[in-house]
Amino acid sequence: MNDQARLLREQIVKHRLINPNEVEKEAKTIAIISGKGGVGKSNFSLNFSLSLQQRGFNVLLFDLDIGMANIDILMGTTQKYSIVHLFEGGRNLNQIIQKGPENLSYIAGGSGLTDIFKLDEQKRKYFLSQLAEATYQYDFIIFDMGAGITEESLQLLLAVDEICLLTTCEPTSITDAYSALKYINIQNPSIPFHLILNKVPDLKIAAKTAERLQSVAKQFLTKKLNHLGSIPDDRAVLLAVMDQTPFILKNPNSPASKAIFKLSTIYLDGNSKAAVRSHEKTSFVSKLFRLFT
């Protein structure tokens, strides 16, 4: 076992000694990915996080779209701290967590880092220990990943509980989404995938697109791809972005907002808070141990 795994394990053991009643209460971790940029991934990540927060869950939204981070812009907040301060400002994770609308906790991506996973060993080790601690403080940790997948970001994707794959109905977007699904599935075929179609011109077109992707995934990858929902191309989304207000808050009765609420309802169907935070399967933290041993 190398030093990274040892430090991370010691961090969790320390937490469990101090908080013995929270041993099994780890957050559910969800990565939001897309095969290409421009599909509305960050906007979806923000509004989906807010829809969970509104339902009484404690959510941490983590902007890992390093270099292209814009979560704070979309919600009209001032970025006081970013992930950069974790490594260069001598702060811990709790100190850089900020509050957005609906009391949503978020970590801004900032700039100055090209890839958080390409940091030197000491900084990466510190990041992992801080991230492990955060899993005991939230019901959900949602990672807004950068477009595409690197070998480094793949490590985190292989550790999360679930992945939401966002695409539009455009052929190039669909092709790139399938490539991302295939790449991750080769590494770990057991990770659950949810498909979300965004900016759809028509729900019938969206349904056919989802069916094609599901069929191809089943035939060539032996992969079940759950179609979680579709979000219509809605002018209210553009107006909300221009106003720097999440669209489910600016216009909760818009078609896009209703789609987000429906989508989150489907996602949470059959789950209670206790079920969400208690996993019989291997936890996010435990998988991080494996990746760094």
- Structure letter (DSSP) for residue 20: G
Which residues does the chain have with pLDDT short of 50?
Answer: 1-2, 4-5, 8, 12-13, 15-18, 20, 22-23, 270, 272-275, 277-280
3-state secondary structure 220-262: HHCCCEEEEEEEECCHHHHHHHHCCCCHHHHCCCCHHHHHHHH
255-268 and 41-54 are packed helices; what angle lies between their axes, rounded to 10 degrees?
A: 60
Query: What local confidence, expressed as pLDDT, does residue 91 receive?
Result: 84
The model carries a pTM of: 0.87
Could you read off the pLDDT of 79-134 as tens digits, one per residue?
A: 788 887 877 767 888 899 999 999 999 998 866 555 566 666 777 777 878 888 88
| Domain segments of the chain as ranges | 3-15+27-276
Rounded to whole angstroms, how far apart are CA atoms 68 and 26?
29
Could you read off the pLDDT of 53-88 as tens digits, one per residue?
A: 999 999 999 998 766 668 989 998 877 888 878 777
DSSP letters, 53-119, are HHTT--EEEEEE-TTS--HHHHTT---S--THHHHHS---HHHH-EE-GGG-EEE---SS-S-GGGS
Count the neighbouring beta carbons within 10 Å of the beta carbon of residue 291: 15
Count the neighbouring beta carbons within 10 Å of the beta carbon of residue 253: 8
CATH of 3-15+27-276 given 3.40.50.2000, 3.60.40.10, 3.40.50.300, 3.50.50.60? 3.40.50.300
